[in-house]
Amino acid sequence: MPGWQGLILRVNLTKRKWVVQRLDPAVARDFIGGRGLAAKILWDELPPGVDPLSPHNKLIFAAGPLTGLPGPNFGKLVVAAKSPLTGGYGDGNIGSWAAVNLRKAGYDALVVEGRAERPVYIYIDGDKVEILDAGEYWGLNAWAVEEKLQKIHGRDAAVVTIGPAGENLVRFATVISQKGRSGGRPGMGAVMGSKNLKAVVVRGRGEIPLADKAQYQKLAVEAVKEGSSSPSYSFWMRQGTNSTVEWAQEASVLPAYNFTEGQFDEFSKIGGAMVEKFETDLKSCPLCFMACGHWVPAESGTVEVDYENIAMLGSNLGIGDLQKVAELNRIADTLGMDTISLGNVLGFVMEASERGLGDRLGFVVEWGDFEAARQLAYDTAYRRGVGDLLAEGVRRISERIGGEDFAIHVKGLEVSAYDCHAAPAMALAYATSPIGAHHKDAWVISWEVKTDRLGYTKEKAAKVVELQRIRGGWFETFVGCRFPWVEVGLSLDWYPKIFKAATGLDATPDYFNEVGDRIYALIRAFWIREYGWWSREMDMPPKKWFKQPLSKGPLKGARLDYDGYNKLLDYYYEIRGWDARGVPTRETLERLGLGYVAEQLSKFIEL
Ligand code: PTT
């Protein structure tokens, strides 16, 4: 099976045993790898309704057949599990040398099961696997642990780790690598912490088998050449994702004051131009030709900033100072928490304070109060005082103290940094994302702002599905970074050709799209099984975008319309072959080769 290594490493921390299992070629064909493989394992192996923080959950690091190969940015790894934040399927995509090394060690995936009695880390060096004591690292921040482990195992040993937030089971704790990469927004770091697993260290020196090595190398070199000679390449290299601040301001989609507005008066103090001015360093994921890691000074050192981080910890909190925003980002990175969820949590408590709910929180914090935000960020990571509540995420906080009308999440995952008062298709993208409100599967907004912006058309629903197929299907399964395509316009045509040279399989766009549809239906089935019920209310965007119009800017007065949105949702379900509740029909499941899923699902919901 060229392309794939054909092996999955399973480490059981309870039994302190590991086994190597063959990857079934039929599974590789139908699910490819990455998210597809992770979703299949979770569906097949998790006991329904399992507590995500129990030893029965599985933490999966899944590569795809392109992961680890030189070419247009294949240094990425999916990290997945049942989410402790949402109770549904959760994953993230982290850029790390661990992705490359895992594949070179001979595996397509690592599945971590059980729970260690004491803190441990997993050390993998080819076919040598050890479970080692991590007692002395527990409690250390993510950056410090990586440095220490590389001192012991060498700089060519790649490390993914958690910080104190993961240890303390903060529901939006992430997995951290290489100081600037954070993956697994829906609490993958907490799942790792629940297993008493501080880190995975992986060294790999083998080859990744290719169907046609010469052809692969030729295509990889040509694709990188095309990408790096794109007209947008040099601006991208100067500002990366950070220029989105200025773009979002212009388009009135920059989240401000807990997604109350789409513009922020002080946007220029935290935008791409400011990042460019103060940049101290530029770093990338492995094997990447378009580094996106722009480092800037924070109060306690330097840190990588990205658009999402800046918007969520800056404009969304009313903080218009890059160095302060960077400091909040640095706290999140070192302690191992997702910046998007943290920005939502802090925005929620600022709004709750403004609305007079401070007595229920036990404190009041004003918009733009950096000192308070910093303290609350630490308290959250360590679950100190009110931080114990904040660590639960926006949905649970609002259930506890009220404020559901301004709790900005979908299915429990906090919304990433695009305000949707005036962006119905983007609202649909958030609401139907397979992990909860994240932009990764369909960043439709850049297209939507150029169309009939406030319209609720079938074309918009179709565009969301199209993007979900490509971003959530193609890139999350062969596992590579989507930025070459999204940001510098590398043609999608390269990927089937590259895939064929790697695997020998004739992969048409239709093949990738069908795999994407299969995975979407499977993940939706997983959510339904874990919740034990389903309704279209689960696919609704946050209430605020319907109820509270924008109060300023060129789109003043704009808000989502309930009937219009429901129409959009109906179109979406129709295209996907799901019923009016958002449940894949039996015919759809069978058409996608998921008859066995239909059988099990019908025990939980009428099909
Ligand atoms: C990703 C999410 C994003 S998406 C950002 S910025 W972005 C935030 N980054 C965080 C961070 O940093 N520190 C932190 N403590 N929390 C953070 N949370 C947020 O996490 C790097 C890039 C980016 S930067 C994006 S869009 C693209 N994402 C891809 C994806 O999802 N799939 C894919 N096939 N290719 C992608 N390429 C791009 O990769 P999650 P990363 Mg990723 C400091 O992790 O869980 O998916 O959430 O992580 O390796 O850093 O991605 O403007």
pLDDT digits (tens, 9 = 90+) for 304-348: 999 999 999 999 999 999 999 999 999 999 999 999 999 999 999
What is the structure's pLDDT at 345? 98
Tell me the two tokens of residue 573.
Answer: 């379900």
449-507 pLDDT, tens digit per residue, is: 999 999 999 999 999 999 999 999 999 999 999 999 999 999 999 999 999 999 999 99
The total of other beta-carbon atoms located within 10 Å of residue 115's CB is: 18
H helices present in 336-433, as ranges: 339-354, 358-361, 370-382, 387-390, 394-401, 424-432
How far apart (Å, rounded) are the C-alpha atoms in residues 74 and 67?
Answer: 5
Which residues face 282 on adjacent strands? 294
CB contact at 8 A, 489 and 483:
no
Give the mean pLDDT of 347-360: 97
| 3-class DSSP assignment, residue 564 | helix
Residues 6 or more apart whose Cβ sits within 8 Å of residue 446: none
How far apart (Å, rounded) are the C-alpha atoms in residues 580 and 478?
Answer: 31
Give the mean pLDDT of 64-86: 98
**434 DSSP assignment:** B
How far apart (Å, rounded) are the C-alpha atoms in residues 578 and 587?
Answer: 9
Mutate which of 308, 310, 438, 469 for ligand 1? The one with the most ligand atoms within 8 Å of its CB, which is 308
Distance (angstroms) between ligand 1 centre and the Cα of 529 equals 28
CB contact at 8 A, 2 and 209:
yes
| Radius of gyration of the chain measured on its C-alpha atoms | 22
What is the structure's pLDDT at 180? 85
Q: Which domains does the chain have, with CATH numbers?
A: 7-203 (3.60.9.10), 241-418 (1.10.569.10), 427-489+508-601 (1.10.599.10)
By C-alpha distance, which of 572, 284, 261, 299 is closest to 419? Answer: 261
By C-alpha distance, which of 244, 381, 242, 378 is closest to 322? Answer: 242
Instruction: Report the atom number in ligand 1 closest to the C-alpha of 305.
Output: 43
Classify residue 172 as left (phi > 0), alpha (psi -120 to 50) or beta.
Answer: alpha
46-68 pLDDT, tens digit per residue, is: 999 999 999 999 999 999 999 99
Name the amino acid, one letter, at 590. Answer: E
106-155 pLDDT, tens digit per residue, is: 999 999 999 999 999 999 999 999 999 999 999 999 999 999 999 999 99
How far apart (Å, rounded) are the C-alpha atoms in residues 35 and 482?
Answer: 14
What is the structure's pLDDT at 568? 98
Instruction: Report the atom number in ligand 1 closest to the C-alpha of 181.
Output: 50
Instruction: Report the atom number in ligand 1 closest to the C-alpha of 332.
Output: 15
Distance (angstroms) between ligand 1 centre and the Cα of 127 equals 30
How is 23-64 classified by DSSP, letter by letter?
PPHHHHHHH-SHHHHHHHHHHHHSPTT--TTSTTS-EEEE--
Instruction: Report the atom number in ligand 1 closest to the C-alpha of 184.
Output: 45
> What lines the ligand 1 site, CB under 6 Å?
76, 92-95, 174, 180-185, 241, 292, 304, 306-309, 332-333, 337-340, 440, 475-476, 481-483
The total of other beta-carbon atoms located within 10 Å of residue 99's CB is: 32
Q: Is the dihedral of CA 543, 173, 289, 326 positive or negative?
A: positive
Ligand 1, atom 43, lies closest to the CA of 180
What ipTM was reported for this prediction? 0.95
The total of other beta-carbon atoms located within 10 Å of residue 11's CB is: 25
CB contact at 8 A, 80 and 35:
yes
What is the structure's pLDDT at 310? 98
By C-alpha distance, which of 163, 157, 168 is closest to 142? Answer: 163
Triad 413, 416, 419: Cα angle to 5°: 120
